[in-house]
């Protein structure tokens, strides 16, 4: 990243951290950590047990006095799988999708660490470029920021399937894996690995899109388009292809969303011309409601 980007990132992160912290802290704990204890089973009440743990409804159903057995909820491991490929180096708004994603991840990491959970990150193209295993502590935020600001980590081919396979080789079961990508250039077979890994991890997709990913310029005329991966170029007439382009883009977006939702995984779509705070906060609030 350029020095200009580094300065901009540091300036923007601080106020957004405060906003997200106030809104997310309670919601994050409610959705993923409950009240610090989780129910495991019932057992018959014996003298000396805490009477406050008696479940009277369950006791009436079985004709015996039952108490709830609780176990302390362990800290959550969160791992961001961040797409750093060529298509993320695109912008029609003055901010690259990769910049937008870096700010988002930095803000979420700050709040996850503050809640007492472990956080890590892997940046990927058609390989995992950088790997930070989830751990606790403010030092993790610094480590992740260093990688997010490193220009050498950006640019290259895109292979989500391979990145998922590699992440599966070193992540602990039960880790929450948050995939941050524009999901452009998906190769055959990625859906299979999403479904396989969803049985082992708590997966969530965050799609980041630039307005140009959905619509062509309003002005008519011929435009030169270039594939960010193959570098293939072609001229098209904007008036002729504008609707086809928009329809196809919306179709692909809905397809990715359906893949995540059918597997009962979280999914949020963000746009680089809009702040990410409200959609992220709304998503976690909905999870709070659905978890009750």
pLDDT at residue 2, rounded to an integer:
45
**Contact of 76 with 32, CB cutoff 8 Å:** yes
The whole-chain average pLDDT of the chain stands at 83
**Contact of 109 with 80, CB cutoff 8 Å:** yes
The CATH number of the structural domain formed by 3-32+75-291 is: 3.40.50.410
pLDDT at residue 35, rounded to an integer:
44
Domain ranges of the chain: 3-32+75-291, 37-72
Q: Which stretch of 37-51, 101-115, 143-157, 273-287 has the lowest confidence by average pLDDT?
A: 37-51
Query: In angstroms, rounded to a whole number, what is the distance separating the alpha carbons of residues 228 and 153?
Result: 17
216-245 pLDDT per residue, tens = 877 777 877 788 778 888 887 877 888 888
The answer to whether the predicted template modeling score (pTM) of the entire model surpasses 0.85 is no
Of the candidates 201, 193, 100, which has an alpha carbon nearest to the alpha carbon of residue 108? 100
Strand ranges (DSSP E) for the chain? 37-44, 66-72, 77-83, 118-124, 128-135, 176-181, 202-209, 222-226, 233-237, 266-271
3-state DSSP call for residue 123? strand
For residue 124, how far is the Cα from the chain centroid? Answer: 14
Burial class (CB in 10 A: 0-12, 13-18, 19+), 183: buried
pLDDT over 70 percentage in the chain: 82
250-263 pLDDT per residue, tens = 999 999 999 999 88
């Amino acid at each position: 990243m350029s020095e200009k980007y580094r300065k901009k990132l540091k300036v923007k992160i601080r106020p957004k951290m405060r906003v997200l912290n106030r809104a997310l802290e309670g919601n994050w704990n409610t959705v993923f950590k409950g009240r610090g204890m989780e129910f495991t089973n019932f057992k018959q009440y014996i003298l000396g047990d805490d009477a406050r743990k008696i479940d009277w409804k369950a006791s009436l159903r079985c004709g015996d006095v039952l108490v709830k057995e609780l176990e302390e909820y362990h800290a959550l491991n969160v791992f961001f799988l961040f797409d750093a490929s060529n298509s993320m180096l695109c912008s029609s708004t003055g901010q690259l999708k990769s910049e937008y994603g870096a700010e988002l991840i930095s803000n979420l990491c700050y709040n996850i660490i503050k809640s007492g959970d472990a956080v890590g990150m892997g940046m990927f193209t058609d390989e995992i470029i950088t790997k930070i295993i989830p751990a606790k502590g403010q030092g993790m935020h610094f480590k992740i920021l260093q990688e997010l600001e490193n220009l050498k980590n950006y640019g290259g081919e895109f292979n989500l399937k391979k990145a998922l396979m590699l992440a599966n080789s070193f992540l602990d079961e039960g880790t929450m894996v948050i995939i941050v990508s524009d999901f452009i250039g998906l190769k055959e077979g990625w859906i299979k690995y999403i479904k396989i890994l969803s049985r082992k991890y708590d997966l969530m997709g965050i799609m980041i899109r630039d307005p140009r990913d959905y619509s062509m310029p309003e002005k008519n005329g011929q435009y030169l388009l270039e594939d960010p991966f193959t570098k293939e170029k072609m001229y098209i007439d904007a008036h002729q292809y504008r609707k086809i382009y928009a329809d196809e883009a919306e179709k692909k977006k809905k397809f990715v969303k359906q893949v995540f939702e059918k597997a009962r995984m979280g999914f949020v779509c963000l746009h680089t011309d809009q702040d990410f705070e409200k959609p992220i906060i709304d998503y976690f609030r909905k999870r709070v409601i659905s978890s009750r």
